[in-house]
Structure 1
Amino acid sequence: MNDDLMLKNQLCHRFYTVSNAFSRAYRPLLAKLDITYPQYVVLMSLWENEGITISDLVEHTQIDSGAMSLILKKLTSKGFLTVSQAQDDKRVKIVSLTAYGRKMRATASNIPQQMRCDIAALSDSQARTLIELIDKLSSGLQRSLCQRENES
Protein backbone atom coordinates (compact mmCIF):
# COMPACT_ATOMS: atom_id res chain seq x y z
CA MET A 1 0.00 0.00 0.00
CA ASN A 2 1.29 3.47 -0.92
CA ASP A 3 1.96 5.45 2.28
CA ASP A 4 1.49 8.74 0.38
CA LEU A 5 -2.29 8.23 0.38
CA MET A 6 -2.64 7.27 4.01
CA LEU A 7 -4.70 9.83 5.92
CA LYS A 8 -2.33 9.77 8.91
CA ASN A 9 0.46 11.03 6.62
CA GLN A 10 -1.43 14.05 5.28
CA LEU A 11 -0.33 17.47 6.50
CA CYS A 12 -3.47 19.05 5.03
CA HIS A 13 -5.69 16.80 7.16
CA ARG A 14 -3.91 18.01 10.29
CA PHE A 15 -4.78 21.59 9.34
CA TYR A 16 -8.37 20.58 8.66
CA THR A 17 -8.79 18.98 12.09
CA VAL A 18 -7.01 21.87 13.87
CA SER A 19 -9.20 24.38 12.03
CA ASN A 20 -12.32 22.54 13.20
CA ALA A 21 -10.99 22.39 16.76
CA PHE A 22 -10.27 26.13 16.73
CA SER A 23 -13.78 26.83 15.47
CA ARG A 24 -15.30 24.78 18.28
CA ALA A 25 -13.06 26.45 20.88
CA TYR A 26 -13.90 29.97 19.69
CA ARG A 27 -17.65 29.40 19.37
CA PRO A 28 -18.61 29.85 23.08
CA LEU A 29 -16.23 32.81 23.48
CA LEU A 30 -17.65 34.61 20.45
CA ALA A 31 -21.25 33.80 21.41
CA LYS A 32 -20.97 36.53 24.07
CA LEU A 33 -20.49 39.02 21.22
CA ASP A 34 -23.02 37.26 18.95
CA ILE A 35 -20.44 36.93 16.17
CA THR A 36 -18.78 34.18 14.15
CA TYR A 37 -15.05 33.62 13.82
CA PRO A 38 -14.82 35.32 10.38
CA GLN A 39 -16.70 38.31 11.83
CA TYR A 40 -14.23 38.34 14.73
CA VAL A 41 -11.31 38.40 12.27
CA VAL A 42 -12.82 41.43 10.53
CA LEU A 43 -13.38 43.19 13.85
CA MET A 44 -9.81 42.48 14.98
CA SER A 45 -8.55 43.98 11.74
CA LEU A 46 -10.71 47.08 12.26
CA TRP A 47 -9.66 47.42 15.90
CA GLU A 48 -6.12 47.50 14.52
CA ASN A 49 -6.79 49.73 11.47
CA GLU A 50 -10.07 51.58 11.67
CA GLY A 51 -11.48 53.48 8.71
CA ILE A 52 -9.91 51.39 5.94
CA THR A 53 -11.12 50.45 2.49
CA ILE A 54 -12.84 47.16 1.83
CA SER A 55 -9.95 46.14 -0.45
CA ASP A 56 -7.45 46.83 2.35
CA LEU A 57 -9.63 44.82 4.73
CA VAL A 58 -9.73 41.91 2.27
CA GLU A 59 -5.95 42.03 1.92
CA HIS A 60 -5.32 42.28 5.67
CA THR A 61 -7.70 39.46 6.66
CA GLN A 62 -7.21 37.24 3.58
CA ILE A 63 -10.99 36.75 3.42
CA ASP A 64 -12.27 36.65 -0.16
CA SER A 65 -14.32 39.62 -1.32
CA GLY A 66 -17.59 37.69 -1.73
CA ALA A 67 -17.47 36.40 1.83
CA MET A 68 -16.32 39.83 3.03
CA SER A 69 -19.45 41.47 1.60
CA LEU A 70 -21.66 39.09 3.57
CA ILE A 71 -19.63 39.58 6.75
CA LEU A 72 -19.79 43.37 6.44
CA LYS A 73 -23.56 43.28 5.90
CA LYS A 74 -24.02 41.13 8.99
CA LEU A 75 -21.74 43.26 11.17
CA THR A 76 -23.48 46.40 9.93
CA SER A 77 -26.89 44.96 10.81
CA LYS A 78 -25.58 44.08 14.29
CA GLY A 79 -24.38 47.65 14.79
CA PHE A 80 -20.63 46.99 14.85
CA LEU A 81 -19.64 49.05 11.82
CA THR A 82 -20.62 51.28 8.93
CA VAL A 83 -19.63 51.19 5.28
CA SER A 84 -19.54 54.52 3.47
CA GLN A 85 -18.22 56.01 0.24
CA ALA A 86 -14.79 57.60 0.25
CA GLN A 87 -14.83 61.40 -0.09
CA ASP A 88 -12.46 61.49 -3.06
CA ASP A 89 -13.69 58.40 -4.97
CA LYS A 90 -17.31 57.28 -4.64
CA ARG A 91 -16.41 53.81 -5.95
CA VAL A 92 -14.22 53.17 -2.90
CA LYS A 93 -15.95 52.01 0.28
CA ILE A 94 -14.59 52.81 3.73
CA VAL A 95 -15.30 50.53 6.70
CA SER A 96 -15.47 52.20 10.12
CA LEU A 97 -16.40 50.97 13.56
CA THR A 98 -19.42 52.41 15.34
CA ALA A 99 -19.19 53.43 18.99
CA TYR A 100 -20.68 50.01 19.79
CA GLY A 101 -18.02 48.29 17.66
CA ARG A 102 -15.23 50.15 19.46
CA LYS A 103 -16.82 49.32 22.83
CA MET A 104 -16.91 45.61 21.99
CA ARG A 105 -13.11 45.58 21.78
CA ALA A 106 -13.02 45.69 25.58
CA THR A 107 -15.53 42.82 25.73
CA ALA A 108 -13.35 40.77 23.36
CA SER A 109 -10.07 41.64 25.03
CA ASN A 110 -9.92 38.45 27.11
CA ILE A 111 -10.55 36.08 24.17
CA PRO A 112 -6.87 35.73 23.14
CA GLN A 113 -5.85 34.87 26.71
CA GLN A 114 -8.66 32.32 26.99
CA MET A 115 -7.59 30.73 23.70
CA ARG A 116 -3.96 30.72 24.84
CA CYS A 117 -5.08 28.70 27.88
CA ASP A 118 -6.79 26.26 25.52
CA ILE A 119 -3.51 25.64 23.72
CA ALA A 120 -1.32 25.57 26.84
CA ALA A 121 0.32 22.40 25.51
CA LEU A 122 2.46 24.75 23.40
CA SER A 123 5.01 27.02 25.04
CA ASP A 124 5.16 30.65 23.93
CA SER A 125 8.30 29.83 21.96
CA GLN A 126 6.65 26.85 20.27
CA ALA A 127 3.60 28.98 19.41
CA ARG A 128 5.84 31.63 17.79
CA THR A 129 7.72 28.93 15.85
CA LEU A 130 4.43 27.41 14.71
CA ILE A 131 3.23 30.82 13.50
CA GLU A 132 6.48 31.27 11.54
CA LEU A 133 6.17 27.81 9.99
CA ILE A 134 2.51 28.28 9.07
CA ASP A 135 3.30 31.68 7.51
CA LYS A 136 6.13 30.08 5.52
CA LEU A 137 3.83 27.27 4.38
CA SER A 138 1.06 29.71 3.44
CA SER A 139 3.46 31.88 1.48
CA GLY A 140 4.80 28.87 -0.41
CA LEU A 141 1.29 27.67 -1.24
CA GLN A 142 0.33 31.15 -2.48
CA ARG A 143 3.39 31.24 -4.77
CA SER A 144 2.56 27.78 -6.13
CA LEU A 145 -1.04 28.83 -6.77
CA CYS A 146 0.08 31.94 -8.64
CA GLN A 147 2.50 29.90 -10.77
CA ARG A 148 -0.24 27.40 -11.66
CA GLU A 149 -2.66 30.19 -12.55
CA ASN A 150 -0.03 31.84 -14.76
CA GLU A 151 0.65 28.54 -16.54
CA SER A 152 -3.05 28.00 -17.32
Structure 2
Amino acid sequence: MNQPSKQREKIMAELRSISHLFDEALPIPGTPYRIGIDPLLGLLPAVGDYLGAIVSGYIVVQAARMGASKQTLSRMVGNIIWDAFVGTVPLFGDVVDVAWKANTKNIKLLEKHLSEPHRVQKTDWWFLGFLLGGLALVIFIISAIGFWILRAFFHSFN
Protein backbone atom coordinates (compact mmCIF):
# COMPACT_ATOMS: atom_id res chain seq x y z
CA MET A 1 0.00 0.00 0.00
CA ASN A 2 1.47 3.33 -0.98
CA GLN A 3 0.57 5.88 1.67
CA PRO A 4 0.25 9.59 1.04
CA SER A 5 3.34 11.59 1.93
CA LYS A 6 2.08 12.87 5.34
CA GLN A 7 1.09 9.40 6.47
CA ARG A 8 4.40 7.97 5.26
CA GLU A 9 6.34 10.64 7.17
CA LYS A 10 4.32 9.89 10.31
CA ILE A 11 5.13 6.19 10.01
CA MET A 12 8.80 6.95 9.31
CA ALA A 13 8.95 9.19 12.39
CA GLU A 14 7.50 6.35 14.47
CA LEU A 15 10.00 3.85 13.03
CA ARG A 16 12.91 6.24 13.62
CA SER A 17 11.80 6.66 17.25
CA ILE A 18 11.60 2.91 17.76
CA SER A 19 15.00 2.42 16.13
CA HIS A 20 16.51 5.19 18.27
CA LEU A 21 15.07 3.68 21.46
CA PHE A 22 16.36 0.19 20.64
CA ASP A 23 19.75 1.19 19.16
CA GLU A 24 20.90 4.63 20.36
CA ALA A 25 18.80 6.05 23.22
CA LEU A 26 21.45 5.99 25.95
CA PRO A 27 24.80 7.78 25.73
CA ILE A 28 27.81 5.93 27.11
CA PRO A 29 29.39 8.47 29.48
CA GLY A 30 32.76 9.78 28.38
CA THR A 31 32.44 8.40 24.84
CA PRO A 32 30.74 9.46 21.62
CA TYR A 33 28.94 6.10 21.52
CA ARG A 34 25.31 5.42 22.27
CA ILE A 35 23.42 2.22 23.01
CA GLY A 36 19.75 1.39 23.06
CA ILE A 37 17.68 -1.03 25.04
CA ASP A 38 18.20 -3.85 22.52
CA PRO A 39 21.59 -4.95 23.92
CA LEU A 40 20.19 -4.60 27.43
CA LEU A 41 17.23 -6.82 26.51
CA GLY A 42 19.76 -9.24 25.03
CA LEU A 43 21.04 -9.86 28.56
CA LEU A 44 17.73 -11.58 29.34
CA PRO A 45 18.13 -15.16 28.12
CA ALA A 46 15.85 -15.94 25.14
CA VAL A 47 13.10 -13.46 26.12
CA GLY A 48 15.23 -10.44 25.23
CA ASP A 49 16.06 -11.82 21.81
CA TYR A 50 12.39 -12.51 21.11
CA LEU A 51 11.33 -9.01 22.16
CA GLY A 52 14.04 -7.44 20.02
CA ALA A 53 13.08 -9.60 17.04
CA ILE A 54 9.39 -8.71 17.42
CA VAL A 55 10.16 -4.99 17.37
CA SER A 56 12.53 -5.43 14.43
CA GLY A 57 9.87 -7.49 12.65
CA TYR A 58 7.38 -4.64 13.14
CA ILE A 59 9.78 -2.31 11.32
CA VAL A 60 9.96 -4.81 8.44
CA VAL A 61 6.15 -5.07 8.25
CA GLN A 62 5.85 -1.28 8.11
CA ALA A 63 8.55 -1.17 5.42
CA ALA A 64 6.52 -3.65 3.37
CA ARG A 65 3.38 -1.56 3.83
CA MET A 66 5.28 1.47 2.49
CA GLY A 67 6.34 -0.40 -0.63
CA ALA A 68 9.83 -1.67 0.13
CA SER A 69 11.14 -4.12 -2.47
CA LYS A 70 11.72 -7.82 -1.86
CA GLN A 71 15.46 -7.15 -1.94
CA THR A 72 15.21 -4.40 0.70
CA LEU A 73 12.97 -6.53 2.92
CA SER A 74 15.33 -9.49 2.55
CA ARG A 75 18.31 -7.36 3.55
CA MET A 76 16.39 -6.02 6.53
CA VAL A 77 15.52 -9.53 7.73
CA GLY A 78 19.14 -10.57 7.13
CA ASN A 79 20.29 -7.78 9.46
CA ILE A 80 17.89 -9.03 12.13
CA ILE A 81 19.03 -12.64 11.73
CA TRP A 82 22.70 -11.64 11.95
CA ASP A 83 21.94 -9.60 15.08
CA ALA A 84 20.10 -12.53 16.68
CA PHE A 85 22.70 -15.11 15.64
CA VAL A 86 25.65 -13.18 17.02
CA GLY A 87 23.58 -12.28 20.08
CA THR A 88 23.55 -15.91 21.18
CA VAL A 89 27.26 -15.78 22.04
CA PRO A 90 27.39 -14.68 25.69
CA LEU A 91 28.98 -11.25 26.26
CA PHE A 92 30.59 -11.15 22.79
CA GLY A 93 27.13 -11.07 21.23
CA ASP A 94 26.07 -8.19 23.45
CA VAL A 95 29.17 -6.21 22.49
CA VAL A 96 28.51 -6.84 18.79
CA ASP A 97 24.85 -5.89 19.32
CA VAL A 98 25.98 -2.48 20.60
CA ALA A 99 27.90 -1.90 17.36
CA TRP A 100 25.69 -3.68 14.80
CA LYS A 101 22.43 -1.74 15.41
CA ALA A 102 20.21 -3.73 13.07
CA ASN A 103 17.23 -1.40 13.46
CA THR A 104 19.28 1.66 12.53
CA LYS A 105 20.65 -0.18 9.50
CA ASN A 106 17.14 -1.19 8.51
CA ILE A 107 15.79 2.35 8.78
CA LYS A 108 18.64 3.55 6.53
CA LEU A 109 17.84 0.80 4.01
CA LEU A 110 14.18 1.81 4.01
CA GLU A 111 14.96 5.52 3.67
CA LYS A 112 17.30 4.83 0.76
CA HIS A 113 14.69 2.68 -0.94
CA LEU A 114 11.90 5.22 -0.43
CA SER A 115 14.06 8.09 -1.69
CA GLU A 116 13.81 6.53 -5.14
CA PRO A 117 10.05 6.81 -5.84
CA HIS A 118 10.12 4.61 -8.92
CA ARG A 119 11.28 1.74 -6.69
CA VAL A 120 8.24 1.81 -4.39
CA GLN A 121 6.30 -1.39 -5.02
CA LYS A 122 3.07 -3.07 -4.07
CA THR A 123 3.62 -5.37 -1.11
CA ASP A 124 3.83 -9.08 -1.81
CA TRP A 125 2.24 -10.33 1.41
CA TRP A 126 3.12 -13.97 0.71
CA PHE A 127 6.78 -13.05 0.42
CA LEU A 128 6.62 -10.99 3.60
CA GLY A 129 4.94 -13.89 5.41
CA PHE A 130 7.66 -16.23 4.17
CA LEU A 131 10.37 -13.81 5.37
CA LEU A 132 8.82 -13.28 8.79
CA GLY A 133 8.08 -17.00 9.19
CA GLY A 134 11.69 -17.73 8.32
CA LEU A 135 12.82 -15.08 10.80
CA ALA A 136 10.68 -16.64 13.55
CA LEU A 137 12.07 -20.10 12.75
CA VAL A 138 15.66 -18.85 12.79
CA ILE A 139 15.12 -17.02 16.10
CA PHE A 140 13.60 -20.18 17.57
CA ILE A 141 16.52 -22.32 16.35
CA ILE A 142 19.06 -19.80 17.62
CA SER A 143 17.32 -19.75 21.01
CA ALA A 144 17.29 -23.55 21.15
CA ILE A 145 21.02 -23.64 20.38
CA GLY A 146 21.67 -20.99 23.03
CA PHE A 147 19.65 -22.99 25.55
CA TRP A 148 21.56 -26.15 24.64
CA ILE A 149 24.90 -24.35 25.09
CA LEU A 150 23.86 -22.95 28.49
CA ARG A 151 22.61 -26.36 29.57
CA ALA A 152 25.88 -28.01 28.52
CA PHE A 153 27.84 -25.28 30.29
CA PHE A 154 25.98 -25.73 33.58
CA HIS A 155 26.13 -29.54 33.34
CA SER A 156 29.90 -29.33 32.99
CA PHE A 157 30.04 -28.09 36.61
CA ASN A 158 28.07 -31.04 37.97
Length-normalised TM-score, structure 1 = 0.32
Q: Which protein, 1 or 2, shows the higher relative CO under an 8 Å CA cutoff with sep ≥ 6?
A: 2
The structure with the largest alpha-carbon Rg is 1
Which structure carries more helix by proportion? 2
Length-normalised TM-score, structure 2 = 0.31
